[in-house]
Structure 1
Amino acid sequence: MSSYKQIIYHLVFGTKRREFTIPETHCLDLYKYIRGITKNKNCTLYQINGIGDHIHILTDLHPSHGLADFIKDIKIASSNWMKENPDFPNWDGWALGYGAFTCSSKEKPNIVEYIKNQKEHHKKESFYDEYKRLLIEHEIEFKEEYLFK
């Protein structure tokens, strides 16, 4: 008997202190680096984008990986890479925590478009408001004082 899976996550995580430390001129390099991490873990990265203080990733998750370890690996590897890269002179690390929202294959095209349009989107909505809205839409309980620790 074969095993089949569909585990798609919309991941969101921010920079330390939500500072704009991902320069727009070099964000594509970061996204390529993260794409390599996901590929090495047998995951498919459908879309990645963000702005200077956070990123969104839409990816499947191979069943051999736990979500928390997968995100930890992405954050540690990408943070170390940026610290060693002169193109990210103000990089200070990722913030603690993350948002992880499951989605179906039917929702995937809309979420891909949403992530592609991050720069336009954030002309109208702050990261704080976006993150809070995503938590509410996905019915995730949270304490506002811990949102950006």
Structure 2
Amino acid sequence: MSTYTQILYQIVFSTKHRNPTLLEESRDLLFKDIWGILKNKKCHLYCINGAEDHIRIVTHIHPIVAVSSLIKDIILGSNDYIKKNRIFLDFSGWQEGYGTFTYSINEKERLIRYVKNQQDHHKHFTYKEELIALLNEHNIEFDEKYLL
């Protein structure tokens, strides 16, 4: 018997202290590195984007890969890549913690459009406001003091 899954994930994490260090001109290099990590883990990347202080990834995660393990690999690998290649000189690391949200495959196109349009969203909403809306949308209880 084969294993079949169709779970769409949105992964969100931010720079340490939400410092605006992910400069637009070098983000594509970072995104390509993260795509390579996902590919090596047999995950399918649908979309990756972000702003100066955070990243969003829309992906299907291979069934043998634990979400927490994948995110750890992305954070450690991208941190090393940034430092070795000196692409964001003021980057001091990633913030502790992350958000992972699941979606029906029927929401794929809407979710991809949303992630692709991050720069437009952040003209009107901060990352924190967006994260709170996402947590509320998924009925996740949280304490705002941990959202820094």
TM-score by length of 1: 0.97
User: How far 1:105 sits from its partner (Å)?
Assistant: 0.7
Deviation at 1:91, TM superposition (A): 1.1
Determine the structure 2 residue equivalent to 1:81.
81
Q: Report if aligned partners of 1:44, 1:61 keep a CA contact under 8 Å in 2.
A: yes
TM-superposed CA distance for 1:88, in Å, is 1.2
Q: Give the total of aligned pairs.
A: 148
Paired AA for residue 120 in structure 1: D
Q: Which residue of 2 aligns with 1:103?
A: 103
What pairs with 1:124-135 in structure 2 (closer than 5 Å)?
A: 124-135=124-135
The unaligned stretches of length 5 or more in structure 1 are none
* Within-5 A mapping of 1:27-66: 27-66=27-66
Q: Which amino acid aligns with 1:145?
A: K
> How many angstroms apart in 1 are the aligned matches of 2:113 and 2:9?
15
CA RMSD of aligned residues (A): 0.7
> 1:74 is matched by which residue type in structure 2?
I
Distance 2:52 2:14 in 1: 9
Secondary structure at the aligned position of 2:105 is classed as coil
Measure the CA separation in 2 of the matches of 1:44 and 1:80.
22
- Contact 1:11–1:98 (CA<8 Å) still a contact in 2? yes
Q: Percent of aligned pairs with the same residue?
A: 47
The list of structure 1 runs, each at least 4 consecutive aligned residues, that deviate by more than 3 angstroms after superposition, is none
Q: In 2, Cα distance between the equivalents of 1:10 and 1:140?
A: 15
Q: How far has the Cα of 1:87 moved from its partner?
A: 2.1
| Contact 1:7 1:62 (C-alpha < 8 Å) held by counterparts | no
Q: Distance in 1 between matches of 2:142 and 2:109?
A: 27
5+ unaligned residues in a row in structure 2: which ranges? none
Q: Which stretch has the larger CA shift, 86-95 or 43-52?
A: 86-95
Separation in structure 1 between the aligned mates of residue 68 and residue 59 of structure 2, nearest angstrom: 14
CA spacing shift, 1:2–1:125, aligned 2, 3 Å: same
- Tell me the residue number matched to 1:112: 112
Question: In the TM superposition, what is the alpha-carbon distance from 1:112 to its structure 2 partner?
Answer: 0.1
TM-score (norm 2): 0.98
